[in-house]
Amino acid sequence: MTSGPVRQIPWGWRSMWVIAMFDLPTDTAKARKAYARFRKALLRDGFTMMQYSVYIRHCASIENAKIHVTRIGHCVPSAGEVRFLTITDKQFGRIETYVGKMRQTAPAPPAQLEFF
């Protein structure tokens, strides 16, 4: 008895992480206000701070991740630079964190489910 071809899970069903990394000027009052608006947009969109100027967001799929990158991309101030990195949940799980010379374990992925 032979079985049919192995069915692959489509790429769109993979859990993803979006990492936003930015350098924004804060040398003037206007620049600080633009920085604060951008940071608040990240937080409203579900991003959390991983470290200074690095925010992360869990997404259910690559399509969902693209939506969030586009949304936040429209909020980027005219001065400064923002980069978005999208990685799979498995890749995110391989992050190694060192504080000083001591290795820290990676934070557990969120226990919540997202419904769209």
Encode pLDDT of 12-24 as tens digits: 457 999 999 999 9
Domain count, the chain: 1
In a domain, 3, yes or no: no
Model confidence pLDDT, tens digit, residues 80-113: 899 999 999 999 989 988 888 766 676 666 666 5
Q: Domain span at residue 85? A: 12-104
Q: How far is CA 54 from CA 1, 5, 7, 22, in A?
A: 53, 42, 37, 7
In a domain, 85, yes or no: yes
In a domain, 99, yes or no: yes
In a domain, 42, yes or no: yes
Please tell me the predicted confidence (pLDDT) of residue 109.
67
In a domain, 23, yes or no: yes
In a domain, 111, yes or no: no
In a domain, 5, yes or no: no
For position 24, which CATH number holds?
3.30.70.240
Q: Distance between CA atoms of 4 and 24, rounded to whole angstroms?
A: 54
Predicted TM-score (pTM) of the model is 0.76
